[in-house]
Chain A
Amino acid sequence: MLKYELKKYILKPSLLICIIVLILLNFVKVFELYYYTGGGRAVLSGNAVQGTNILYDKYSGKITDEKINGLKTELANAEQMLKEYGIIEEPIEGTYCGYPYGDVNLFKDLISSYEYAILYSNKSAEITENARANAEFYSDKSRYEYRLSKLYEDCYKGRTLDGYYQSEGHKAIFDYKFSALLSMFIIVLAISPIVSKEYVIGYNKLISSSGKRGSVMLAKLTAAAIFTFAVTLILYASDMVYFQLIYGFDGFSAPIYALQEFEMCPFNITLFGALVITFVLRLVFLLMFTFLVTAVSSFCKNDIISMVVSVAAGFLLVIGSELLPGVLNPTTLIGTTELFTNMNVCNILDFPVLNVVVTLSEVILLAVVFAVVSVRRGMKCC
């Protein structure tokens, strides 16, 4: 039954072409993002970018005494060149980015990142110690504060870093939402006719008379979920490829707090793990949206109306969610920078619960409700 449901409305050449076009559009958007917000390298010439990348490659990864000494020496040399040449307009040989001033800044950035990595274990110990002290203080005063302090202690205890990794791409991809928006658009195109079109072509009566309404509706939901998984995966993979090509990122096996932006990350995960979590949260959100569209489709007897209402529902979901408190805003699942930046918790029955857990539970609950509504309504009509 499932393969027929996939074939009916989803596996269509027109939809495939649409997906390809949107994947290309996604590339344009990533490039645009890089151009406007990609930092210094975005405005450098091709040779300068290449030189800068050589520098990053040289000093990224595990921090060693050799690298530290090399960095110190190169900084001294760059400062010497800066004294000699001053601020110049034309690039010169013997520099990484073409300009002594730029090289000095790059080395200072790298040294700052090295310092962060080397000193991170101290910071971690400091946070842990503070959390332990707080836990002691609150042990007989506030159960919630006590538990929160313990959470901090457990979370940040024993963290150390021994490497430096290029972070620009990771941070950008965690916060990149455009491809999720494209996924929503594709989902509306493919899924909005999934029940309503049965009315249009009159197959609802044949499905009803077969006595397999339940199986057909379950197959429809499964087909919609599979499609959503595939679309989310394809677009997320395209994000990864584009960000890798344009920004470049490495250190997948490094802990996420290896990036300075995520020093307070509440999860002890690797950067690859963070990318997987980002994908999973996006998938859950999009599955919820998919089931919303199937519910809309099951109420409409015309596929055009179903599409229009689904688009409106998508807008309402995205725009209306902004009016909700952050913890109840489902769209927070499609941009994870905030999630990985700070430990955001809420008090539930004196237990500190991560905001993302609350949001995730809410979205899963909504997905289940929409799925049940789709099946029940579809069972009446199909």
Chain B
Amino acid sequence: MKLEINQLTKSYSKGKKALDSFTLTLEKGVYGILGPNGAGKSTLINCVTGIIKPDSGSIAFTDGDSHDYMSHLGFLPQNQDFYPNFTARELILYSMALKNVKVDNPKAYADGILKRVNLYDDRNKKVGAHSGGMKQRLGIAQALVGEPKVVIFDEPTAGLDPKERIRFRNVISSLANDKIVILATHIVTDIAFIAKNVVLIDGGKMISCASQSELCNEIYGKVWEVLTDYETGMELMRTKRVSNVISKDDRFNVRVVSDEKPHPDAVNVQPALEDVCIYHFGEIGE
């Protein structure tokens, strides 16, 4: 199974290129897409999901003899809400109608999907009475209708409490075996936990696509920590790319991403995905 995004370009009315010859090949597994605001993540997702048409380039899907990925696509948009007067089951049935999923017993199929996201007991509850976490799980459920080969989640954990976020990660991980899962988010920790590969995107171009360990290795020796006083800490935050600051008694442990040693007392530490983001984008998500 392979999803090939080839030379995708999309410009908006002011001439700014949201995607600039973006090329990427995805295989089974979870891919986290990371990039700063305006990097082109949403445009990329909108193109892949068919919401907007790219100016040029192509998207090709191969799975045996199948080449039509749109009929195998599951999608959870950002800030997705639902029709409040639908029950969870009705919403899944509606998604089945939208995706043209025809089965002998639609209600049983819908219930099966709801079981996968732990919403079976609430299947007859109106969506308007669902909590934020339940709605997000319902969003995942509708994305799974039709057993899609490609599943795309756009900012899926925004607004979720820690418990729901962990539950969400577990559901995503369980999908990864036989699907291409694309996860676009600002929340680096979500990607750090569940994404096999990370795609870095900025200025509409792909900067890198590699495993987390490979990306971390790329900046090995460029991540430092220094225990310092307040003034020096402030100075480092003004002049260097700082990925973390922890207060320790009257002193500060400052984590700096830099090609050169930022302070005489600085020591090299193991890079993390957040450091990779700071290194490439100069900013960090949540």
Contact = CB atoms under 8 A, between A and B. Distances in A.
Interface of A: 1, 4, 7-8, 11-12, 200-203, 205-212, 216
Given A1-B97, A7-B85, A205 B90 contact: no
Contacts of A200: 81
Nearest to B127: A201
Given A4-B97, A7-B86, A202 B80 contact: yes
Interface stretch (B6-14, B70-78, B197-205): B70-78
Contacts of A201: 80-83
Given A207-B98, A209-B75, A202 B50 contact: no
A200 B100 CA distance: 24
A211 B83 contact: no
A209 B79 contact: no
Contacts of A4: 90, 93-94, 97
A196 to B, nearest CB: 14
A203 B138 CA distance: 13
A204 B210 CA distance: 33
Contacts of B79: 202
Contacts of B75: 205-206, 209
B83 A210 contact: no
A206 B80 contact: yes
A8 B83 contact: yes
B94 A202 contact: no
Nearest to B84: A201
Interface of B: 46, 49-51, 70-71, 73, 75, 77-83, 85-86, 90, 93-95, 97-100, 142
Nearest to A5: B94
A202 B100 contact: no
Report whether over half of chain A's contact residues are helix, strand or loop; otherwise say mixed. helix
A209 B50 contact: yes
B179 to A, nearest CB: 16
A208 B81 CA distance: 15
Given A4-B97, A212-B100, A216-B98, A206 B81 contact: no
A206 B83 contact: no
B97 A205 contact: no
A70 B240 CA distance: 113
Contacts of A211: 50, 70-71
A208 B85 contact: no
5 A-B pairs with the lowest CB-CB distances in the bound complex, closest first: A201-B81, A209-B49, A210-B98, A205-B77, A208-B51
Contacts of B86: 7-8
Best-surrounded residue of A11, A200, A201, A209 (most CB of chain B within 10 A): A209
Given A4-B94, A216-B98, A205 B49 contact: yes
A200 B70 CA distance: 24
Contacts of A212: 98, 100
A205 B82 CA distance: 12
A209 B97 CA distance: 13
A1 B51 CA distance: 20
Contacts of A8: 83, 85-86
Given A7-B86, A206-B142, 17 more contacts: A7-B85, A7-B90, A8-B83, A201-B80, A201-B81, A202-B78, A203-B80, A203-B81, A205-B80, A206-B75, A206-B77, A209-B49, A209-B50, A209-B51, A209-B70, A211-B50, A216-B98
B82 A208 contact: no
A210 B95 CA distance: 9
Nearest to A1: B97
Contacts of B82: 201, 203
B281 to A, nearest CB: 26
14 contacts: A4-B90, A201-B81, A201-B82, A201-B83, A202-B80, A205-B46, A205-B77, A206-B77, A206-B80, A206-B142, A209-B73, A210-B98, A212-B98, A212-B100
A216 B79 CA distance: 22
Contact of A208 (B49, B95, B142): B49
Contacts of B100: 212
A9 to B, nearest CB: 8
Q: Which of A7, A200, A205, A212 has the most CB of B within 10 A?
A: A205
